[in-house]
Amino acid sequence: MPTSTNKPLGILALAGVGPYQEKAGEEYMGEPQLAHFKKILDAWRIQLREEVDRTVTHMQDEAANFPDPVDRAAQEEEFSLELRTRDRERKLIKKIEKTLQLIEDDDFGFCNSCGIEIGIRRLEARPTADLCIECKTLSEIKERQMAG
């Protein structure tokens, strides 16, 4: 079963697509590329929503009032871990929806910091990326320096 921690090819496979093959002279983020990424993001969002639904069903089915405190604690810990994972996925779904809106607004694929092309391969690895690799690297260096 695929999870939200899929590697890039996992995300592509989930959407039923392979790595994008650019054609000579093709415009960056023209219709074919935008359709490619929309398909990837839609499939990823659907998969995450299905996982949320499975978690709710699982928790409802498995919720038991164990008389043994150790069993009850183990179940509560399991549920706690599942809920934290689903919370991260809920935030990811919001980020996916924001990225889908960027596609609709024809503002997808460009760095929020410097404005250059993020690049097809980087976007296939992380479809919600909003920084080019250079700006992301610089941002991470600044974060480490601020953390001390």
Other Cβ atoms closer than 10 A to 89: 19
Was 130 annotated as part of a binding site?
A: no
Was 114 annotated as part of a binding site?
A: yes
DSSP 24: T
Q: How far is CA 145 from the centre of its chain?
A: 27
Beta-carbon contacts of 119 under 8 Å, excluding residues fewer than 6 positions away, are 132, 133
Was 44 annotated as part of a binding site?
A: no
Was 87 annotated as part of a binding site?
A: no
Closest by CA to 29, choosing from 116, 117, 95, is: 117
Other Cβ atoms closer than 10 A to 50: 12
Cβ atoms of 45 and 93 within 8 Å: the answer is yes
Using DSSP's 3-state secondary structure scheme, residue 110 falls into strand
Annotated binding site: 111, 114, 132, 135
Known binding-site residues for Zn(2+) equal: 111, 114, 132, 135
